[in-house]
Amino acid sequence: MESWSFPPSFDENYLPPADSRYWFPRRETMPAGEREKAILARLQEVCRYAYTNAPFYRKKWDEAGFHPDHLNSLEDFEDKVPVVQKADLRVSQANHPPYGDYLCVPESEIFHLHGTSGTTGRPTAFAIGRNDWRAIANAHARCMWAMGMRPGDVICVAAIFSLYMGSWGALAGAERLRAKAFPFGAGAPGMSARCAQWLDLVKPSAFYGTPTYAVHLGETAIKEGLNPRKFGIKHMFFSGEPGASIPGVRGRIMELFDAKVFDCGSMAEMTPWMNVAGTAETEGMLCWQDIIYTEVCDPKTMRRVPYGQRGTPVYTHLERTSQPMIRLASGDLTQWVNDPNPCGRTYPRLPHGIFGRIDDMFTIRGENVYPSEIEAVLHEIPGYGGEHQIVISRDAAMDELLLRVEANEGTFPSGDVSQFRNEVGKRIQKLLGLRVKAEIVAQGSLPRTDFKSRRVIDDRAAFRDMHAALGQGT
């Protein structure tokens, strides 16, 4: 297969013919059985590499009775290699700061540092080697080519440039594609109006962001007297939250911009996160199995479910050497199929994208939020009355987070809770990186339970559509 080696090595000057549907025709269209033989050989290489270089995997596999020499089939991989949970990575980094004992390259080879927050508030660090960064760029360029983007296109990256991997991965792919990268960013007050003005001026052919932001941006443009359908955008690709595969959200974006909409994105830990991504001819998300090997598994047994059924994605890097993830359980919910794809690629597909989290994590404006993090912060604020509700709704097109927080009666005898309200807003904004609305209510006014609390109320239209689709078995 084209450029199939480990560690990966790519010709940085390579580009397919402009009229080619495929970046690597052989890799993308070969019979699935032949690809699986190549994947098995790669898994053997990756497992030997990790066992030699990562105490994390050596210890975990020794305890499970697995050795890379035991890997003789994909069934062996499923049966014998234990899954990794995000909690395992947090423990590893707590015990071996800052990168954990699954870093397989010298620290001198680290090229990019990114990260995310965990349920305890401790950051999880992503250390990406220079060669891995080039592999990410090449993989993303492949997927963006499949969506229809080409060298010379102007690609606007309208996502926050921070520890968040999405914006940087899209930018790296655009650069490798030899496109005109337009890293506009997002997040600053008034930035959406300025972004609309720039889009009207530059007329980019492609746009990356979150689905929520795209809707907000389109509606902001209209308020500014601009027509987003005249921006000239042909391709809009999204990650960071469910939405681009949800008919109501996708339809609204297409209506606003008159552009094709593509869903993509797995996990920041699994970057190149476009390893699940749609193409110009195929909706949903293809599992680009020769970049990251994807299994959809029963969340309890972690055994692959048959095609057509739902489960949680379990991912394995095939082109990463710095912090390779081997059978990392995502905690998301999806459905996969293995029908012929209109684009001719012979990969399994997630026809409805990623439905959302199986656990209680929720995503708002591209940020992952854990209710336990909010609860921990509230308990640290003097005057907290012991109960709260998290209400996720929509104000116009943007997701909004409202906290109903009880105030301790004895702390505020005068009834003036304005300072407490401000402190709640300030602390939660510091935690999440986004503004929230705080409503202070009387102590004892929120429901209690003797069992599990149900503090999260999610009434966003996108999630109502998602739950309806799940209920209908689609």
Please indicate, yes or no, if residue 403 is contained in any of the structural domains: yes
Please indicate, yes or no, if residue 404 is contained in any of the structural domains: yes
Residue 33 has pLDDT above 70, yes or no: yes
- Hey, what amino acid is at 385? G
Please indicate, yes or no, if residue 422 is contained in any of the structural domains: yes
Integer CA distances (angstroms), 86 to 11, 117, 341, 363, in order? 34, 11, 32, 17
Q: How many CA atoms lie within 13 A of 284 on its CB side?
A: 23
Collapse the DSSP code of 178 into the 3-class scheme (helix H, G, I; strand E, B; otherwise coil) and give the result.
coil
pLDDT at 395: 59
Please indicate, yes or no, if residue 316 is contained in any of the structural domains: no
Residue 469 has pLDDT above 60, yes or no: no
Q: Which helix H or strand E contains 219, and what residues bound it? A: helix 211-223
pLDDT at 449: 44
Neighbours of 342 (CB within 10 A): 11
pLDDT at 7: 95
* CA dist., res. 461 & res. 51, Å (int): 46
Confidence of residue 402 (pLDDT cuts 50, 70, 90): confident
Residue tagged 């078995």 (tokens): 473
Treating both helix axes as pointing N-terminal to C-terminal, what angle do 211-223 and 191-202 enclose, rounded to 10 degrees? 80
Tell me the pLDDT tens digit for each residue of 173-182.
Answer: 999 999 999 9
Please indicate, yes or no, if residue 324 is contained in any of the structural domains: no
Please indicate, yes or no, if residue 373 is contained in any of the structural domains: yes
Residue tagged 């990575």 (tokens): 89
pLDDT at 370: 66
* CA dist., res. 75 & res. 36, Å (int): 11
CA dihedral 317, 323, 325, 326 (to 10 degrees): 90
What's the domain range around 396? 367-471
CA dihedral 448, 452, 453, 456 (to 10 degrees): -150
Q: Who wins on pLDDT, 368 or 293? A: 293
Residue 365 has pLDDT above 70, yes or no: yes
Backbone angles phi, psi at 252, to 5 degrees: -65, -40
Strand partners, 176: none
When mean pLDDT is compared over 212-216, 265-269, 417-421, the highest value belongs to: 265-269
Q: Among 448, 452, 96, 84, which Cα is nearest to 269's?
A: 84
Residue 137 has pLDDT above 60, yes or no: yes
pLDDT at 473: 47
Q: Which residues contact 201 (CB under 8 A, 6 or more apart)?
A: none
The sign of the torsion formed by the CA atoms of 261, 269, 118, 446 equals positive
Q: Are strands 206-209 and 154-157 parallel, antiparallel or unpaired?
A: parallel
Neighbours of 23 (CB within 10 A): 21
Tell me the pLDDT tens digit for each residue of 281-312.
Answer: 999 999 999 999 999 999 999 999 999 999 99
**CATH number, residue 432:** 3.30.300.30
Radius of gyration (Cα) for the chain, nearest Å? 23
pLDDT at 462: 46
Q: How many domains does the chain have?
A: 1
Confidence of residue 212 (pLDDT cuts 50, 70, 90): confident
**197-201, 208-212, 231-235, 324-328: least confidently modelled range:** 208-212
Please indicate, yes or no, if residue 84 is contained in any of the structural domains: no
Please indicate, yes or no, if residue 9 is contained in any of the structural domains: no
The sign of the torsion formed by the CA atoms of 455, 459, 465, 471 equals positive
Confidence of residue 120 (pLDDT cuts 50, 70, 90): very low
Residue 468 has pLDDT above 70, yes or no: no
Q: Among 291, 272, 89, 238, which Cα is nearest to 165's?
A: 272
